[in-house]
Amino acid sequence: MCGISVLFHKTNLNQQLYYDFISSLRSINHRGPDDEGVVLINTNTGDYKIIKTEFTHSLVNDTCSIEAVNVNEFNLALGHRRLSIIDLSVAGHQPMKGKDGSWITFNGEIFNYIELREELKQLGSVFITNSDTEVVLEAYRVWGQNCLNKFNGMWTICIWDSQKKHLFLSNDRFGVKPLYYYEKEEFFILSSEIKQFLKFSAVKKELNQEHITDFVKFGFIDVDTSTMYQTITRFKCSHFALINLATNFKIANEQKSYYNLIKHIKPISEHNAVLRFREILNNSVTLRMRADVNFGFALSGGIDSSAVLYTARDIMKEQEKQHELLGFSAIFPGYPEDESEFVKIVENDLPCKTHYSLAMEEFNFDFFEKHIYHQDEPLQGTTYFAQWSIYKKASECGIKILFNGQGADEVFAGYHHYFYRYCRQLLLKGNVLEYLSLVKSYAEIKNVSKKQIHKIVFNELKLVLKLKAGIAKFDHVLLKYWNKIDTLDELLIKDFDTFQLPLYLRADDRDSMAFGVESRHPFMDYRLVEFGYSLPNNLLIKNGWQKYLIRKAMHEMPEAVRYRKDKKGFVTPQNIWLARFKNEFEDYLKYNKRVLGTEKPSDQPFLNYALGTWFKVNNF
């Protein structure tokens, strides 16, 4: 897990661009505190220079100092900040050169790299490192762009293909690892984080007013490829691009899809679904436990993070590995949002040594500003600060990898709104008896009245009928689209790829990498996602239970967690937080006034605070 920078100029680099590039790379030291690499390339002649900086590994050979190089001789710069996870030696240094003269700078992990390396060896490939980076580079050399379909992992890949004279770019299937770009007629920049672009004097901080409006009015963020800046764009997940540097091009136009996520229901019995779920989750966790550094587990007390932890425990037993289970959790003692009761149930049952972050007590505005700075975009709530606190605690304990349960809710129907949309679907299809049975079970589980549930469902039903009749109006096309979705299947997919998960993944990436910690998501294994989206609805929501299949499958888990009746979704006592620090938070509103002409563009207080803080830390 690392961070990358790429700079290309159509004629040649100049001193200003070069030093801005080095400064840009330094701005993400947090992503890769273990090593720094820079290579300058002449894409016409193939000449290159490996640059040695003050942060470059001392054993990297054939280097040139930052000051000694004649930058006018080169037109492409590749940069890398390394977080050493696999093959900790200097052999894993990046940018890495391939046997055919190609170069790679790569952010992420390919978890099945061992299997791919063996497959490539059978085809005649020879390897000199134990890193997954070399496997990626060789896989591209042998299979070209088709290598992407063989990868199980998370990645941003940039390869200068010296043979075909083009730049190969790719983002992973679900956009777990970030990639952004900025382009003008004469040059372009690619980076892991938005803040990197702001180190270039040639990049102007032009605000994207439409993006800001979507955030303050609707809370929308990361729902498309736009950012807070007009000229900085997110590269599409599950896409690649072949950039011919000798021609006129637009990166946006060169992106092509290599993977499509669809909901394709396949008949399967409950028994076989349980077996298949356990098989895939077991293999997903097994692959993600490959590392040469210490790892731990984010633990919320919910079924998703607990499922990952229990699966890891079973794998360690089977492999006879002596590895202490380390949990990390944010708790709020004395507040209704506190989940420590369930965390301690898991902790004592396994056993697991859990480290607790008391986010409420540890909060200060220096941390809050750093949190927003690292996020690159404003956020919707304080949940993300609690997440930040967990990664901070993990880093303090010497942990470089933290597992979490991200993605399970969007695939296996964990959020409350999935239940109500499924109820609406049943009624629209005329399945009244099934609907009544489901409501009865849900009411008993949640200890709420059936009347209350009926009211919510009927309001949803009236809304969709008004939408179809053209009566209901929404201020934003995405709100209309989301509310108009009739089926649970389509809603799950859209939350996964548009409305929810992209934000969660970006926030998780920035929070973890702020402390040099790699987050791993077993539920984001594409095989498990595809399996989840092949299941019939009655294995997702059944007898009033959401994430029904996970509950059935994880039989080794304590019943209090496995059939936990409340769904908190890692919430925080935000209102109390805001009330306690109201005066301090409102200090940030003057930055909204300075930029937007109004202190409170939103009727939601935290959105105003988050936006004002974002303006402040980005020097507006």
Q: Give the pLDDT confidence score for residue 566 in this predicted structure.
A: 82
Answer whether residue 470 shows pLDDT above 90: no
Q: Give the pLDDT confidence score for residue 568 in this predicted structure.
A: 64
Q: Give the pLDDT confidence score for residue 475 in this predicted structure.
A: 86
pLDDT in tens, 562-578: 999 887 666 789 999 99
Measured CA to CA, the distance from residue 476 to residue 474 in angstroms comes to: 5
pLDDT band, very low/low/confident/very high, at 403 (cuts 50, 70, 90): very high
Measured CA to CA, the distance from residue 39 to residue 51 in angstroms comes to: 6
pLDDT band, very low/low/confident/very high, at 305 (cuts 50, 70, 90): very high
Cβ atoms of 277 and 549 within 8 Å: the answer is yes
pLDDT in tens, 22-39: 999 999 999 999 999 999
Cβ atoms of 601 and 216 within 8 Å: the answer is yes
Q: Give the pLDDT confidence score for residue 215 in this predicted structure.
A: 96
Structure tokens at 343: 């965390």
Mean pLDDT of all residues in 497-508: 96
Nearest to 99 by CA among 120, 76, 132, 128: 128
Burial of 66 by CB count in 10 Å (0-12 exposed, 13-18 middle, 19+ buried)? middle
- Tell me what the pLDDT averaged over the chain comes to: 95
Mean pLDDT of all residues in 609-616: 98
Q: Give the pLDDT confidence score for residue 273 in this predicted structure.
A: 98
pLDDT in tens, 100-143: 999 999 999 999 999 999 999 999 999 999 999 999 999 999 99
pLDDT in tens, 573-608: 999 999 999 999 999 999 999 999 999 999 999 999
Cβ atoms of 541 and 422 within 8 Å: the answer is yes
Measured CA to CA, the distance from residue 381 to residue 607 in angstroms comes to: 8
Domains of the chain, each with CATH number or no CATH: 2-257 (3.60.20.10), 280-412+500-572 (3.40.50.620), 416-485 (no CATH), 581-617 (no CATH)
What secondary structure letter does DSSP report for 563? T
Cβ atoms of 251 and 231 within 8 Å: the answer is no
**Those residues with Cβ within 8 angstroms of residue 198's Cβ, 6 or more apart along the chain or in another chain:** 27, 205, 618
Answer whether residue 553 shows pLDDT above 70: yes
Answer whether residue 52 shows pLDDT above 90: yes
Q: Give the pLDDT confidence score for residue 570 in this predicted structure.
A: 67
pLDDT in tens, 160-177: 999 999 999 999 999 999
Q: In the block, which residue shows the tokens 């439409």?
A: 210
pLDDT band, very low/low/confident/very high, at 539 (cuts 50, 70, 90): very high
Answer whether residue 264 shows pLDDT above 90: no
Whole-prediction pTM:
0.96
Give the number of other Cβ atoms within 10 Å of residue 487's Cβ: 16
Residues above pLDDT 90, as percent of the chain? 92
Mean pLDDT of all residues in 388-415: 97
